Amino acid sequence: MKAEAVIFDKDGTLMEFDPFWVKVAESAVQDILNRLGINSVPVCEVLEAFGVRGGISDVNGILRKGTYEQAGEALAGVLERYGIKIESAKLSALVREAFAANSGEGGIKGCAGVKETLSRLKSLGIRLAVVTTDSADITGKCLKVLGIESFFDKIYTDDGITPPKPEPYCAVEFLRTYGIKPENAVMVGDTLTDARFAENAGMKFIAVASGAAGKELEDRAAAVIPDISGLDHIIEGRA
């Protein structure tokens, strides 16, 4: 599978998801409730609305594949069940702020072979990008801690303006910048959102998944791999 460009999802693809994000979500939700002066709503109920149960995130839940706007809507739904009505737009802004404020460097752990694989792909002359629904501040922090920020030609984050995945905007802009056709590009990710993003942009999709999650993505993917180590053996640069 030859490619001139590879676009990566961040969480669950370049870095392990739960060790970092579940802890951040727990702290952020408590922070939001404290800011609102609410003590009648259990943190665990909000986490469940985000797709987190027993410290494990649902691969198709809001925390995994949603946006801050979707998280705000989910939070609004939980609060409404307790008779508390707050506009989801206000809550979305609070979610964004609280996640940024509660995202330290603890729990940031790269997926297997991430640094070595990115280095080899760059040596092949392949253009690399990250497209994530995470904020710029948190994304920059994670990539810096992992020591992989410099490998990417472009990094796209949720700035509240740029259309998020699965809208193909970021892929189209990235490929146009470097004069690369969609059929010569690959998206690597771990959710159905990533698969739809690739399809909408006309790119091939490689799924990073295993077990039931891998089966779910199998029909949409050119390949399913447990992690990105060895990705360079699947993707060869064009001479």
How confident is the model over 212-234, as a mean pLDDT? 87
| pLDDT 10s digits, 128-143 | 999 998 999 999 999 9
Q: Are residues 143 and 218 in the same domain?
A: yes
pLDDT in tens, 60-111: 899 988 889 999 999 999 999 999 999 999 999 999 999 999 998 889 999 9
230 and 117 in a common domain: yes
Among 101, 136, 170, which residue terminates a domain? 101
114 has pLDDT over 70: yes
37 — alpha (psi -120 to 50), left (phi > 0) or beta?
A: left
What does the pLDDT average to over 172-184?
Answer: 98
Q: Are 8 and 157 in contact (CB under 8 A)?
A: no
Query: Cα separation of 188 and 91, whole Å?
Result: 31
Q: In the predicted model, what is the mean pLDDT of residues 102-129?
A: 94
- Enumerate residues 6+ apart whose C-beta is below 8 A from 147: 115
pLDDT interval class at 210 (50, 70, 90)? confident
Is 90 contained in some domain? yes
Q: Could you give the number of structural domains in the chain?
A: 2
pLDDT of residue 237: 63
Q: Are residues 88 and 118 in the same domain?
A: no
pLDDT exceeds cutoff 80 at 238: no
Domain extent for 136: 5-16+109-234
Q: Are 20 and 105 in contact (CB under 8 A)?
A: no
Residue 239 inside a domain? The answer is no
Average pLDDT of every residue of the chain: 93
Distances (CA, A) of 112 to 12, 109, 122: 11, 9, 17
In the DSSP assignment, the letter for residue 82 is T
The pair of three-digit structure tokens given for residue 73, joined into one six-digit string: 């809507």
- Domain identity same for 91 and 142: no
> Do residues 9 and 113 both lie within one domain?
yes
**76 assigned to some structural domain:** yes
Residue 226: cis peptide before it, omega within 30 degrees of 0: no
Boundary (domain end) residue, out of 71, 101, 131 = 101
Q: Is the pLDDT of residue 51 over 50?
A: yes
pTM for the model: 0.85
